[in-house]
Structure 1
Amino acid sequence: MKILITGAAGFIGSHTAERLQSLGHVVVGVDNFSDYYSVILKQLNAKALTEKGISIIKKDLRDEDLLKVLPNDFDYIFHFAGQPGISQTSTFEDYFSNNIIATKNLVDFAEGCPNLKLLVNIATSSIYGLEATHPESFAPKPASHYGVTKLAGEQLVLQKSREQLLKSCSLRLYSVIGPRERPEKMYTKLIDLGLKDEKFPLFEGSDTHLRSFTYVGDIVDGIVSVIGKEQLVNGEIINLGTEVEHTTKEGIEAVEQILGKKIHLNVIPKRPGDQLRTKANIDKARRLLNYNPQTTLLEAVEKQVAWFKANF
């Protein structure tokens, strides 16, 4: 199969590209190498992919000439690209253009791919709102520009299934951690500052927040399992993550255990829109995809620390 990965130089997109290539598929990646976070890290990820024979095209999905730049003979498209996370430095326009306009352009492109079996949208538990513990049938209550625009992008993709113009599905991911995690995310920052003996900025009250910290390899297991199941997943929203919850405090303690040193904290004001609890309800994923994440928090942190030390 020939597969397109958008956001291929990013955290989860790069892991998915590698997995699909290892399964024998021809993988093409596209990424705009945005400077939202370190371009050096994205280039490092892209280098790892190209060394394995995966081609990476530098292109912004917000451009309207995708059909002129990208081939159209893809069997599957996995859409990771977007403006990620809850950031006070990102404007609403950033979220709108990257998560809605870019997705609409990709959907238009997908309609022009005659061999396409499935368009897979990569969404987020932030769509549910401040507490993401629900089945996929729950009415979304996003509490951030990120969640609102990811919900809109998801619906643009699923609209095409309803219109029977192409097959599509959306996968809502929960608190993914592991090697290549973005530098502003919790575990990469904890590891970095812990090794430097610098204080970690902890949002007030967030030490008690609960998260389904899910190892990226377990997430990729679920993502790639949709291949060959397009009739089964068409039009569906599916949660992917672990059912095991940990507090932020337990996450910090896991990093301390692996590093063998104490991490000092600097408590800062609360962040608007931050989720209080995420616990992946994966009954549907188990039923449709035979999904069964197994990696423990400590195992995931150990892998991430090893990656960080090897690269930084």
Structure 2
Amino acid sequence: MHILVTGCAGFIGFHVSKRLLEDGHVVAGFDNLNDYYEVSLKRDRLKQLDHPNFLFVQGSLEDQGALKRLFEQFRPQTVVHFAAQAGVRHSLDHPHTYIQSNVVGFLNVLENCRHLGIRHLIYASTSSVYGLNKTMPFSTEQPVDHPISLYAATKKSNELMAHAYSHLFGLPTTGLRFFTVYGPWGRPDMALFRFTQAILEGKPIQLFNYGRMKRDFTYIDDIVESIVRLIPLPPKPDSNWSGELPIPGASSAPYKIYNIGNHNPVPLMDFIMALEEKLGLTASIELLPLQPGDVTETYADVTDLFKVTGFKPRTSIREGIGRFVDWYTDYYGKDGGPKK
């Protein structure tokens, strides 16, 4: 299958591209290699994708011409869309970047999928869309009308835009709400990466809400396995869906939303203890108030995902942290500094 992966140099996009190549697919990767975090890490991920069936194109989602040329030349059958401006806290100070990348850019992806008759569009959403919702576990049957960051708002807008295209043009779309993804080659702005770096460098780690947080940490391999199982399963209109009692995560159109999480919220302090155990070091901790835009707990209901794919994320925290630390110390060195 010809599959286009946007954001192929990003954390999840890289791992998905690598798996698709291993499975024998032909993959085109699209990424703008922006400097939200160190570009060298993104380039090193791309080196891991060196394969005769891989084509890389550098470009921005906002560039309609570049995206259209790639679609027309590569003729993908499926599009896996991960390119976006990530980060809850970054969105507080750089709002326009999120609108351009996550809203305007997504519109350009939808338009190309519509006009080229793409069989299946899979796109990244986020657990952040649940916002002020306190009902646990988070379910795709719950409304997500109260986001508490612009990042979350742009991702909800993606879900709404995708539904409009599914309804109007019959484009099969699947949205994936990721829950705190971690693992080798992860993003430097994510908690596990920052904590590991700080502990190795003997610096304090900052815990917001005074450490009283829970996260449904989900290991990258479990994320990838879920995605590759969903690729050949484009959604169909749900015959049981009713506009009188509308379920948000399904539709009378070929549209579906899934949570991808570990279905096991872990207290942040337990997460840190597992990291200390793997490193053989004790963290110096700085307790701080809750940050604007943060939620205190996430917990994924993955019932629908299991029904469709037969797969549930299953990697334990200790196993996942162990693999990350092994990668990190190999890539950066045991002192935590970047490789020379």
Please state which band the TM-score falls in when normalised by the shorter chain.
over 0.9
Distance verdict in 2 for CA 1:124–1:52, change over 3 Å: farther
2-structure distance, mates of 1:303, 1:243: 20
Code of the residue aligned with 2:232 in structure 1: it is G
Cα deviations by residue, 1:165-221 (Å, 9 ceiling, x for unpaired): 31111111111110111111100111111111111122242x221111010100111
1-structure distance, mates of 2:52, 2:319: 26
1:177 and 2:178 matched: no
Match of 2:68 in 1: 67
2-structure distance, mates of 1:204, 1:128: 18
Match of 2:113 among 110, 120, 124: 110
Q: What secondary structure sits across from 1:56 in the alignment? A: strand
Cα deviations by residue, 1:230-283 (Å, 9 ceiling, x for unpaired): 145830111111111101111111110100110112234431010111111001
1-structure distance, mates of 2:51, 2:25: 16
2-structure distance, mates of 1:256, 1:90: 32
- Aligned pairs for 1:82-101 within 5 A: 82-88=84-90, 90-101=93-104
1:222 and 2:226 matched: yes
Show structure 1 runs of 4+ deviating over 6 A.
none
1-structure distance, mates of 2:52, 2:317: 29
Shift of 1:157: 1.8
2-structure distance, mates of 1:52, 1:174: 33
Code of the residue aligned with 1:99 in structure 2: it is N
2-structure distance, mates of 1:232, 1:300: 34
2-structure distance, mates of 1:283, 1:215: 18
Code of the residue aligned with 1:301 in structure 2: it is I
**Normalising by the residue count of structure 1, what TM-score does the alignment of the two structures yield?**
0.95
Match of 1:124 in 2: 126
* CA RMSD of superposed structures (Å): 1.6
Match of 2:282 among 233, 253, 262: 262
Q: What secondary structure sits across from 2:277 in the alignment? A: helix
Q: Structure 2: any 5+ residue segments left out of the alignment? A: 238-253, 333-340
Q: What secondary structure sits across from 1:37 in the alignment? A: coil
2-structure distance, mates of 1:61, 1:48: 23
1-structure distance, mates of 2:209, 2:313: 31
Code of the residue aligned with 2:215 in structure 1: it is R
**Normalising by the residue count of structure 2, what TM-score does the alignment of the two structures yield?**
0.87
Match of 1:246 in 2: 266
**Contact 1:49 1:55 (C-alpha < 8 Å) held by counterparts:** no
Percent identity reads: 30
**Contact 2:89 2:292 (C-alpha < 8 Å) held by counterparts:** no
- Aligned pairs for 1:3-152 within 5 A: 3-51=3-51, 53-65=53-65, 66-70=67-71, 71-88=73-90, 90-114=93-117, 116-130=118-132, 131=134, 133-140=137-144, 141-152=146-157
2-structure distance, mates of 1:69, 1:273: 36
2-structure distance, mates of 1:261, 1:33: 34
Q: Which moved more, 1:268-277 or 1:169-178?
A: 268-277
**Contact 2:235 2:256 (C-alpha < 8 Å) held by counterparts:** no
